[in-house]
């Protein structure tokens, strides 16, 4: 098989041969969410710090950053393992995004097609992600969080979607969300941003499709550190 590594700055590498995907030298690595510093850390924070957003507010999301000191390659399947709570509602539609930022914090993206006209820009501002790559995303309705223990792996969680488990007031539940596979290169000083939101962050995949709006209300809480150490698992390629 072959895969590609994007740096989104004109230095993409394509048609890389491999016997499997993720490549054999790709190692799933946990980056823990730190609600106090809003950073992603290799070690889990000792203190539990919840962070929250209100669905009807602006922003309706929380994000976490890490900066890479060395050349870093991601190749494989990201996943998020989060401890979440719903306030003033009994369910949550959660959307997550892994986004590449340059050293100055500017999000990086790239067209996937030769057409980069004004119309192409209009189409991809809030959707049509098949035409422009903006990052790796995933989503889950929390009441459908039950995992299929037979099909799930450490890298890719698989949900049964055969039961609805609503949330009780004050209940903190553990969820796993698979994200689209990545092949990304981060040069020294560049950053990765992980976003958790009640909104479809990338919009639709195809042009002209009505954007999905989640059945959300109230407040979403993401618990970090301590007994509720939420993390983003990334496929780091060993050097």
pLDDT at 239 (0 to 100): 67
* 184-193 pLDDT per residue, tens: 999 999 999 9
Cβ atoms of 149 and 157 within 8 Å: the answer is: no
Give the percent of the chain with pLDDT over 70. Answer: 100
Task: Average the pLDDT over 183-208 and give the result.
Answer: 94
Domain assignment of residue 56, given as a range: 2-237
Nearest-angstrom CA–CA distance, 227 and 223: 9
Nearest-angstrom CA–CA distance, 24 and 122: 40
Cβ atoms of 103 and 91 within 8 Å: the answer is: no
Nearest-angstrom CA–CA distance, 14 and 197: 32
Give the percent of the chain with pLDDT over 90. Answer: 93
pLDDT band for position 210 (cuts 50, 70, 90): confident
CATH of the domain at 175: 2.60.120.260
* 155-172 pLDDT per residue, tens: 999 999 999 999 999 999
Cβ atoms of 223 and 50 within 8 Å: the answer is: yes
SS3 180: coil
Nearest-angstrom CA–CA distance, 139 and 132: 19
Q: How many domains does the chain have?
A: 1
Ramachandran quadrant class, 37 (left: phi over 0; alpha: psi -120 to 50; beta: rest): alpha
pLDDT band for position 197 (cuts 50, 70, 90): very high
* 31-81 pLDDT per residue, tens: 999 999 999 999 999 999 999 999 999 999 999 999 999 999 999 999 999
Counting every residue, how long is the chain?
A: 239
Cβ atoms of 94 and 208 within 8 Å: the answer is: no
């Amino acid at each position: 098989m072959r895969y590609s590594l994007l740096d989104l700055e004109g230095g993409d590498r394509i048609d890389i041969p491999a016997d499997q995907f993720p490549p054999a030298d790709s190692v799933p690595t946990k980056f823990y969410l730190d609600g106090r510093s809003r950073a992603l850390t290799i070690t889990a924070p000792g203190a539990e710090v919840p962070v929250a957003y209100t669905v009807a507010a602006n922003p309706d999301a929380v994000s976490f950053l890490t900066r890479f000191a060395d050349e870093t390659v991601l190749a494989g399947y990201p996943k998020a393992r989060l401890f979440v709570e719903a306030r003033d509602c009994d369910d949550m539609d959660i959307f997550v995004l892994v986004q590449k930022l340059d050293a100055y914090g500017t999000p990086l993206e790239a067209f996937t097609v030769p057409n980069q006209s004004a119309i192409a820009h209009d189409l991809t501002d809030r959707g049509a992600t098949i035409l422009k790559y903006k990052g790796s995303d995933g989503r889950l309705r929390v009441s459908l969080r039950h995992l299929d223990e037979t099909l799930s792996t450490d890298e890719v969680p698989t949900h049964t979607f055969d039961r609805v488990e609503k949330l009780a007031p004050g209940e903190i539940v553990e969820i796993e969300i698979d994200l689209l596979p990545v092949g990304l290169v981060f040069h020294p000083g560049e950053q990765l941003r992980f976003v958790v939101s009640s909104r479809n962050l990338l919009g639709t995949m195809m042009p002209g499709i009505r954007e999905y709006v989640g059945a959300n209300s109230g407040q979403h809480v993401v618990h970090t550190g301590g007994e509720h150490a939420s993390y983003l698992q990334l496929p780091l390629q060993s050097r």
